[in-house]
């Protein structure tokens, strides 16, 4: 039984990292040893558990079933071990959390630190990505996301509001001048966010209730929000970015806001959990902790997000607590 649990831990790590060699380094095992253990597991079950090519690794249907159930089994085993060793019944287990890269590095990592200080027997697996992943794909219990809510049976908790804004470094303005109208962006190098199958190169503005959409272009595109922000700070171009992600740079004067007479749309900022099932106590506790954390967070974004007349028209209505998003 112990060997089976060790195999589950190994397989869990392989799927989470997407690499035998990476998982092996974390476990202190050679590639040959990892391959041997995987081969023994596949011989035990009599079928393939992983699909492999030269660039990627992913579970088969049977491997995915093993992975999902191994998460639950190992979580229960770890919780039992902790209770027996520590003689207590505090919050236990692992929470899978996914969020945008730049938001994660600046704010969510601090949220995780604060939660673990109060709940030292909880482990949090934090996955940064600017892609929108489903919960099974990312192995997550919670997702923090900006923008429109997806059409799925998820539970949404509002973390506040968010607005895109246009900004760049003082050095960029010195070299290239200041755009005074959204149309002026056609003459500037704009740093563009990439999604899986499209570029976010259509920037939206509102002035006196009149919407304008500008298609921008530039010589740097990336699917990583952190990289885009760093490029902007280095004076390499103009970005269209979440206030939450640039507020500290603006406060420190690393970036300056542009086109302030033209408001960008305000959208929601949400914490999402799967609907249709009872959340474990540790996940429920983290959700409430996160809502209060962002509510009381004293950041420059709070001042930048102060309401304007356009916001009153544009702002998406906040969902009530535990809002069910229709399937």
Q: What is the pTM of this model?
A: 0.60
Q: Which residues of 140-160 are buried (b: 16+ CB within 10 A; e: fewer)?
A: bbbbbbbbebeeeebbbbbbb
**Residue whose pair of structure tokens reads 């809002």 in the numeric block:** 323
pLDDT in tens, 97-136: 988 888 888 889 999 999 999 898 888 988 888 776 666 5
Please provide the DSSP assignment of 159-227 as one string. EEEEEEEEEE-HHHHHHH----SGGGGGGS-EEEEE-SS-EE-EEEEEETTEEEEEE---S-EES-HHH
User: Looking at residue 125, what is its pLDDT?
Assistant: 87
Q: How far apart are CA 237 and CA 188, in angstroms?
A: 7
The second-level CATH assignment, the architecture, of 1-89 is: Orthogonal Bundle (1.10)
> What does the pLDDT read at residue 230?
94
Domain spans, the chain: 1-89, 90-327
pLDDT tens digit string along 221-280? Answer: 998 888 999 999 999 999 999 888 898 899 899 999 999 888 887 878 889 888 766 788
pLDDT of amino acid 221: 93
Tokens 């806001």 -> residue:
257
Check if 1-89 and 90-327 are the same fold.
no
Predicted pLDDT of residue 266? 81
Question: What kind of fold does domain 90-327 have according to CATH?
Answer: D-Maltodextrin-Binding Protein; domain 2 (3.40.190)
């Amino acid at each position: 039984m112990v060997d089976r649990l060790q195999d589950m831990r190994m397989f869990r790590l392989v799927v989470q990292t997407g690499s035998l060699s990476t998982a092996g380094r974390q476990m202190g095992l050679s590639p040959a040893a990892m391959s041997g253990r995987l081969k023994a597991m596949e011989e035990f079950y009599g079928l393939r558990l992983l699909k492999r090519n030269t660039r990627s690794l992913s579970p088969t249907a049977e491997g995915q079933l093993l992975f999902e159930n191994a998460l639950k089994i190992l979580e229960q085993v770890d919780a039992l071990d902790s209770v027996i060793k520590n003689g207590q019944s505090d919050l236990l287990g692992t929470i899978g959390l996914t969020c945008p890269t730049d938001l994660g590095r600046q704010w969510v990592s601090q949220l995780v630190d604060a939660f673990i200080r109060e709940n030292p027997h909880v482990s949090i697996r934090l996955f940064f990505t600017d892609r929108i992943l489903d919960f099974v794909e990312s192995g997550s219990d919670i997702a923090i996301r900006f923008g429109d809510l997806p059409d799925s049976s998820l539970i949404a908790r509002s973390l506040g509001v968010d607005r895109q804004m246009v900004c760049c470094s003082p050095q960029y303005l010195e070299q290239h001048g200041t755009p005074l109208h959204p149309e002026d962006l056609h003459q500037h190098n704009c740093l563009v966010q990439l999604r899986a199958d499209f570029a976010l190169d259509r920037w939206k503005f509102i002035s006196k209730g009149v919407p304008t959409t500008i298609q921008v272009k530039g010589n740097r595109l990336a699917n990583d929000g952190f990289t885009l922000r760093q490029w902007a700070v280095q004076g390499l171009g103009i970005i269209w970015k979440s206030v939450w992600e640039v507020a500290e740079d603006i406060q420190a004067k690393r970036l300056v806001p542009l086109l302030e007479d033209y408001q960008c749309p305000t959208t929601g900022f949400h914490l999402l959990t799967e609907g249709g099932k009872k959340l474990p106590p540790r996940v429920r506790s983290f959700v409430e902790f996160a809502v209060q954390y962002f509510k009381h967070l004293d950041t420059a974004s709070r001042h930048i997000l102060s309401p304007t007349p356009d916001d009153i028209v544009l702002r998406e209505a906040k969902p009530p607590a535990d809002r069910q998003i229709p399937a």
